[in-house]
């Protein structure tokens, strides 16, 4: 295997103490009134403390295991990449036997694979090559799967459209004039196009479910922490999810069974409960009760009538399969997007921007290659960020400057209230049901106005983003087509009841309603 490299390298000169000028600038930044004499004293104390950092630099850092040989692979040509969905192609063979033997898997390009370039959709990270395998990559290979490439994702994964990646737009496999959905844009397009059996996506505001909805795939956002996030570029630790995407529920369940489970290096996990997911696919929903969430339909200025109608018709199909289907109301669902906005904006600024991807104040595995490379690159190439990332920087810092994190804190305090609203509904029914996205895929904007740009990048998250806050498992189920484009139905279950969600999705799939 070729050695992974950050391409920019660590500081080989060691940790150096600050100059008085550097300390003066820091004091000013933090509103400290310190004289030159004061700073000279602090400089002497700091110079002694720097010794600890020098010693840390000398100690050997533990690395995530890289167990299987691989070559660097290659960037595919446009002729071999008609949907612009591949960022990088490779062929990493795992164990000789296992549950994924014979399966070809693509990974979203925010997932580290040692020796394989990772761009995370952003030219700021172009040239970065991880030196570790993410936990999910190792588990896939241990189960006999073959990793065949990295799927394009949106710029730092901050878009629900598929046009913000630095490598260009990912095209919808049903109509290339339309968005594939984001931010796991390439993952969805590749599974629908038949280029892989399964793919791993990521979801902080709907980024597994949105592209699955718009491209017509099955995509599951698991309960928060069920699938380890170790070795994956984060956005906001309380929102970070990674999960499986495929063209059959069986493949989604199989991949989930392989990647789910406890990882002591991921602080997002607490009491992880795994199930035998493939065994849950009985095709029978006669003892299940579905709740059609009234507030998931009819979003002003967003919902399309055909989408609402076809999702309701799909819900009726569960009645034909013997399930009970009722309509319920969860008024607070309409506030979920507002709670998410406050958390995602300031939280992403803190973790993804100010603290160089990994953030601070958690114990687990820090991918230092990302911190080193991205931390240097973003200070030089910040103008290359997409408009969605620049929006996060400007609004997040404004709110921090003006309101000192008050609304981020209040939004996090409201998450248990929102969670309880769904939990109360899930005491009445087994599964919640609503459109995944209020609309079908939007056209790829050619020369968008500011409003068109942000509408296409963030205008579809109304139903998906609340469950990134509350951590309930949620799955897109392709349920119909309209004007040649897929319509997605979302099923939401109780925490760690992915088996029930998958069981219902599988029964719908086997009924042959969507084709």
**Active-site pick, 159, 207, 212, 215:** 207
pLDDT higher than 90, residue 472: yes
> 45 and 119, same structural domain?
no
Same domain? For 47 and 97 the reply is no
Q: Rounded mean pLDDT of 66-95? A: 97
Chosen domain end from 60, 91, 110 = 60
Task: Please report the pLDDT score of residue 270 as a whole number.
Answer: 87
State whether residue 234 is helix, strand or coil.
coil
User: Which one is catalytic: 103, 108, 150, 440?
Assistant: 108
Which range is least confidently modeled, 299-308, 444-453, 472-481?
A: 444-453
Same domain, 149 and 275: yes
Structure tokens at 87: 């960022």
Q: What is the pLDDT of residue 316?
A: 97
Residues 87 and 203 in one domain: yes
Structural domain includes residue 70: no
Does residue 435 have a pLDDT over 60? yes
The predicted structure's pLDDT at residue 6:
44
d(CA 7, CA 74): 17
pLDDT confidence bin for 278, thresholds 50/70/90: very high
Domain-located, residue 344: yes
Mean pLDDT of 257-273: 95
In a domain, 73, yes or no: no
Do 96 and 165 lie in one domain? The reply is yes
Whole-number pLDDT of residue 99: 98
- Taking only the tens place, the pLDDT of each residue in 343-389 is 999 999 999 999 999 999 999 999 999 999 999 999 999 999 999 99
Residue 460 has pLDDT above 90, yes or no: yes
Span 212-219, average pLDDT: 98
pTM: 0.95
pLDDT for residue 515: 63
Report pLDDT for 7: 44
Looking at the fold, whether 451 and 384 belong to one and the same domain comes out as: yes
Cα dihedral value 332, 224, 230, 239, nearest 10: 0
Asked if the structure places residue 40 within a domain, the reply is: yes
Indicate if the pLDDT at residue 294 is higher than 60.
Answer: yes
pLDDT, position 11? 44
Report the share of the chain in percent with pLDDT over 70.
97
Q: CATH code at 154?
A: 3.90.1300.10
Place of tokens 């994702």: 153
104 is catalytic: no
Q: In the prediction, which pLDDT does 109 show?
A: 98
Q: Rounded to an integer, what distance in angstroms lies between the CA atom of residue 8 and that of residue 376? A: 8
- Are residue 110 and residue 218 in the same domain, yes or no? yes
Q: How far apart are CA 468 and CA 282, in angstroms?
A: 28
Contacts of 398 (CB under 8 A, 6+ apart): none
Provide the token pair at 449. Answer: 């106005």
Count of domains forming the chain: 2
Whether 207 is a known active-site residue: answer yes
Average pLDDT over residues 259-281: 96
In a domain, 309, yes or no: yes
Task: Give yes or no for residue 3 having a pLDDT over 80.
Answer: no
pLDDT at 1 over 70: no
Listed residues 12, 34, 60: the one ending a domain:
60
Same domain, 186 and 108: yes
pLDDT above 90 covers what percent of the chain? 96
What are the Cα distances from residue 219, in Å, to 27, 65, 213? 49, 28, 8
Alpha-carbon gap, residue 211 to 441, rounded angstroms: 9
| Active site (annotated) includes residue 275 | no
Mean pLDDT, rounded, for 328-338: 98
Asked if 318 and 325 touch (Cβ cutoff 8 Å), the reply is yes
* Co-location of 36 and 123 in the same domain: no
Residues 6+ apart with CB under 8 A from 82: 171
Do 285 and 428 lie in one domain? The reply is: yes
At 14, the pLDDT band (50, 70, 90 cuts) reads confident
Q: Which of 122, 159, 165, 183 is catalytic?
A: 183
Range of the domain at 458: 78-510
Going by C-alpha positions, the residue among 105, 281, 213 that lies closest to residue 437 is: 213
Q: Is residue 69 domain-resident? A: no
At residue 421, the pLDDT reads 98
| Residues 180, 43 share a domain | no
Tell me if 188 is assigned to some domain: yes
- Least Cα distance to 269 among 30, 96, 48, 496 occurs for 496
**Residues 379 and 256 placed together within one structural domain of the fold:** yes
* pLDDT surpasses 90 at 401: yes
Residue 226 contacts residue 498 (beta carbons within 8 Å)? yes
Burial of 404 (0-12, 13-18, 19+ CB in 10 A): exposed
Q: What is the mean pLDDT of the chain?
A: 96
pLDDT classification of 514: cutoffs 50, 70, 90: confident
Q: How confident is the model at residue 2 (pLDDT cuts 50, 70, 90)?
A: very low
- On whether residue 71 sits in a domain, the answer given is no
Q: What is the pLDDT of residue 5?
A: 46
């Amino acid at each position: 295997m070729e050695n992974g490299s950050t391409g920019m390298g660590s500081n080989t000169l060691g940790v150096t103490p600050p100059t008085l000028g550097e300390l003066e600038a820091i004091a000013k930044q933090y509103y400290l009134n310190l004289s030159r004499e004061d700073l000279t004293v602090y400089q002497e104390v700091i110079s002694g403390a720097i010794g600890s950092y020098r010693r840390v630099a000398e100690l050997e850092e533990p690395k995530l295991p890289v167990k299987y040989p691989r070559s660097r692979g290659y960037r595919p040509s446009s002729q071999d990449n008609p949907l612009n969905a591949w960022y990088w192609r490779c062929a990493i063979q795992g164990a000789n036997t296992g549950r994924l033997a014979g399966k070809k898997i693509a990974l979203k390009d925010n997932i580290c694979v040692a020796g394989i370039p990772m761009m995370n959709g952003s030219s700021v990270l172009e040239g970065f090559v991880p030196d570790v395998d993410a936990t999910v990559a190792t588990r896939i290979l241990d189960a006999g799967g073959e990793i065949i490439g990295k799927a394009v994702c949106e710029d730092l994964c901050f878009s629900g459209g598929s046009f913000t990646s630095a490598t260009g737009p990912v095209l919808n496999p049903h109509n290339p004039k339309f968005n594939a959905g984001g931010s796991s844009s390439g993952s969805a397009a590749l599974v629908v196009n038949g280029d892989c059996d399964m793919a791993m996506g990521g979801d902080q505001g709907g980024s597994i479910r949105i592209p699955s909805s718009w491209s017509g795939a099955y995509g599951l956002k698991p309960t928060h922490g069920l699938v380890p996030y170790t070795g994956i570029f984060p956005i906001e630790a309380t929102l970070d999810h990674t999960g499986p995407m495929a063209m059959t529920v069986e493949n989604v369940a199989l991949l989930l069974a392989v990647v789910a489970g406890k990882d002591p290096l991921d602080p997002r996990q607490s009491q992880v409960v795994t199930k035998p997911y493939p065994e849950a696919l009985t095709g029978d929903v006669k003892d299940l009760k579905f709740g059609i969430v009234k507030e998931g339909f009819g979003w002003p200025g967003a919902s399309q009538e055909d989408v609402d109608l076809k999702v309701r018709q799909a819900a009726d199909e569960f009645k034909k399969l013997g399930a009970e289907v009722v309509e319920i109301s969860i008024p607070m669902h309409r506030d979920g997007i507002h709670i998410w906005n406050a958390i995602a904006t300031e939280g992403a600024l803190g973790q993804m921007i100010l603290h160089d991807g990994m953030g601070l104040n958690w114990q687990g595995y820090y991918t230092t290659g990302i911190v080193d490379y991205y931390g240097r690159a973003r200070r030089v190439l910040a103008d290359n960020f997409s408009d969605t990332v620049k929006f996060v920087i400007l609004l997040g810092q404004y709110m921090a400057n003006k309101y000192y994190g008050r609304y981020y804190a209040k939004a996090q305090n409201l998450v248990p209230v929102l969670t309880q609203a769904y939990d109360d509904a899930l005491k009445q029914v087994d599964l919640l049901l609503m459109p995944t996205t209020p609309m079908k895929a939007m056209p790829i904007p050619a020369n968008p106005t500011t409003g068109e740009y942000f509408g296409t990048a963030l205008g579809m998250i109304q139903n998906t983003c609340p469950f990134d806050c509350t951590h309930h498992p949620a799955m897109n189920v392709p349920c119909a087509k309209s004007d040649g484009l897929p319509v997605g139905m979302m099923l939401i279950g109780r925490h760690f009841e992915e088996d029930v969600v998958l069981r219902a999705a599988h029964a719908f799939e086997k009924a042959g309603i969507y084709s």
